[in-house]
Amino acid sequence: MRKVCALCGRETDILIEGLCPDCYRKTHPLARVKRDVVGIVRCPSCGAILYRGRWVRDPKVIEKLILESIEYMGRVTNASIETLSLRHGLNTAVVKVRGSVHELISDYDEEVQVKVRYSEELCPRCRDMINERERAVVQIRSIIPMSGQLRRLIIDIVRKETIKDERSGFLRVEDVGEGFDIKLSDQGLARTIAYKIHKAVPSKVTESQSVVRGRGDKVVTKLSISVILVPLTRGSVIIYSNRPYYVLSYSQGTFKLMELGNREVINVKLGDIIKGNVAVPSYEARCIENQGLKALEIVIGSDRYVLNDMC
Ligand SMILES: [Zn+2]
Ligand SMILES: [Zn+2]
Q: Distance, CA 27 to ligand 2 centroid (Å)?
A: 45
Exposure on the CB side of residue 82, measured as CA atoms within 13 A: 13
Q: Distance, CA 119 to ligand 2 centroid (Å)?
A: 13
Mark the residues whose beta carbon lies below 5 A from ion ligand 1. 5, 7-8, 20, 23
What confidence score (pLDDT) does residue 129 get? 83
pLDDT score of 220 more than 90: no
At 161, which helix (H) or strand (E)? helix 148-163
Q: Distance, CA 57 to ligand 2 centroid (Å)?
A: 8
Ligand nearest 123 Cα, by number? 2
What confidence score (pLDDT) does residue 117 get? 96
Tens-place pLDDT, residues 27-75: 999 999 998 899 999 998 899 999 999 999 998 999 999 999 999 999 9
Q: Which amino acid is at 104?
A: L
Residue 106 · residue 124 · CB < 8 Å: no
pLDDT score of 166 more than 70: no
Q: Distance, CA 218 to ligand 2 centroid (Å)?
A: 29
Q: Distance, CA 112 to ligand 1 centroid (Å)?
A: 22
Higher pLDDT, 165 or 188: 188
| 45: DSSP letter | T
Q: How confident is the model at residue 165 (pLDDT cuts 50, 70, 90)?
A: low
Output the average pLDDT for the chain. Answer: 92
Q: Distance, CA 44 to ligand 2 centroid (Å)?
A: 7
Q: How confident is the model at residue 91 (pLDDT cuts 50, 70, 90)?
A: very high
Q: What gap in Å lies between CA 227 and CA 204, rounded to an integer? A: 6
Q: Distance, CA 6 to ligand 1 centroid (Å)?
A: 7
Q: Distance, CA 127 to ligand 2 centroid (Å)?
A: 7
pTM of the model: 0.61
Q: Distance, CA 46 to ligand 1 centroid (Å)?
A: 52
Q: What gap in Å lies between CA 27 and CA 7, rounded to an integer? A: 10
Tell me how far CA of residue 148 lies from CA of 33, 40, 155, 174, 254, in angstroms.
Answer: 36, 27, 11, 16, 25
**What are the residue ranges spanned by the domains of the chain?**
21-120, 134-229, 237-308
Q: Distance, CA 15 to ligand 1 centroid (Å)?
A: 9
| 241: DSSP letter | T
Q: Does the CA dihedral 243-244-248-249 come out positive or negative?
A: positive
Residue 205 φ/ψ, nearest 5 degrees: -115, 130
Q: Distance, CA 136 to ligand 1 centroid (Å)?
A: 69
Exposure on the CB side of residue 292, measured as CA atoms within 13 A: 0
Q: Distance, CA 192 to ligand 1 centroid (Å)?
A: 71
Burial class (CB in 10 A: 0-12, 13-18, 19+), 151: middle
